[in-house]
Amino acid sequence: MGMKEYIIKRILLVIPIVMGISFIVFVLMYSLPGDPIDVIYGITRGMSREQILHIKEIYGFDRPWYIQYLCWLREFASGNLGFSLLSGRPASEEIMMRIPNTLAYQVSALILSIALAVPAGVVSAVKQYSKIDNVVMTGALLGVSFPIFFLGLLLIFLFALVLKWFPSGGAHSVQYLGKDVPQTFSYYLDYLKHMTLPTLTLAVATTAYTARLVRSSMLSVLREDYIITARSKGLKERIVIYKHALKNAMLPVITVIGLRLAFTIAGAPITETVFSWPGLGKYFVYAIQRREYFIVIGVTIVLAILIMVANILIDISYRWLDPRVTL
């Protein structure tokens, strides 16, 4: 199968997956007590029960759940994800304005973790059982032992409360909040300072796991016959390690990186809640608390699509690393 046909096939598979995810999420949300109108009634004390029932009839929340789902599915087919009952804005608009914040620290953490894990794993494998190997593996063991929320709280305590190097949460300082704030260099610098701790939290967790895998994969490849042959020809050790061994050792590593990327995207609600980061994850928790059906389904679909796109890119990278791999 060619690359173009493979990509088209994977994109077509997204449609039934998205429909299945939306159905499961809708059923789970419907099974919870209350609905968005009940939440609004709890906030707006002055509304009578008759007014609440009338509003439910207007928005269709008095219908059976399967009728509500089919109505949503019809709107989704036309590109409409619904709207937020609390803000009155389209769900797609609410989601799109938060995607950049989520991708900013997620992509930064992925790049940082790869930049740290690959060299650490290679050095640890080449210098097996040395002091460097012991230090790297001990650090990796500690890194994979801490849950993300605990690691995040630990970094907040150390870097925000004790050392006071970085802010503990949010995306901007108070002076940079508001719609009319000029987006100067100091504005973006403040954004980067707030993004540092969420990025480090994800990077540490991913780096630890990836470094261990790079080490074990490199140790396996370094024992192969073609590596022994390359060394017997008098090639420099640097060429043997980085040109011949590392490229083949990265195949299983890329698989795990794809899985870890899915794990970090799915864990966005935890990370963003810990750091009060205004991204999709924090908004997802907010929407669940207020029974915002359309928002919850929309955010879930967007996160699922991000994970599937990441997996497609991982599969394509196999072909780049090893042309013998068939898709």
For range 257-279, the mean pLDDT: 80
| pLDDT exceeds cutoff 60 at 43 | no
b/e for 92-112, b at 16 or more Cβ within 10 A? bebbeebeebbebbbebbbeb
Instruction: Kindly report, residue by residue over 92-150, the tens digit of the pLDDT.
Output: 888 888 888 888 888 888 888 888 888 888 888 888 888 888 888 888 777 777 788 88
pLDDT band of residue 1 (cuts 50, 70, 90) is: low
Rg value, the chain, Cα: 24
| pLDDT exceeds cutoff 70 at 62 | yes
Instruction: Kindly report, residue by residue over 282-305, the tens digit of the pLDDT.
Output: 888 888 887 787 888 888 888 888
For range 149-159, the mean pLDDT: 87
Q: Please give the mean pLDDT across all residues of the chain.
A: 80
Q: What CATH architecture applies to the domain 101-278?
A: Orthogonal Bundle (1.10)
What's the predicted TM-score (pTM) here?
0.79
Per domain, the residue ranges of the chain are 1-98+291-327, 101-278
| pLDDT exceeds cutoff 80 at 190 | yes
What distance in Å separates the CA atoms of residue 75 and residue 24, rounded to the nearest whole number?
17
DSSP character at residue 32:
S
Instruction: Kindly report, residue by residue over 157-173, the tens digit of the pLDDT.
Output: 999 888 888 888 888 88
pLDDT at residue 2 in the model: 66
DSSP character at residue 279:
S
| pLDDT exceeds cutoff 60 at 327 | no
DSSP result, 62-123: TS-HHHHHHHHHHHHHTT---B-TTT-SBHHHHHHTTHHHHHHHHHHHHHHHHHHHHHHHHH
Q: How far apart are the first and last CA of the chain?
A: 6
Residues of the chain above pLDDT 70, percent: 92
pLDDT at residue 321 in the model: 63
pLDDT at residue 325 in the model: 58
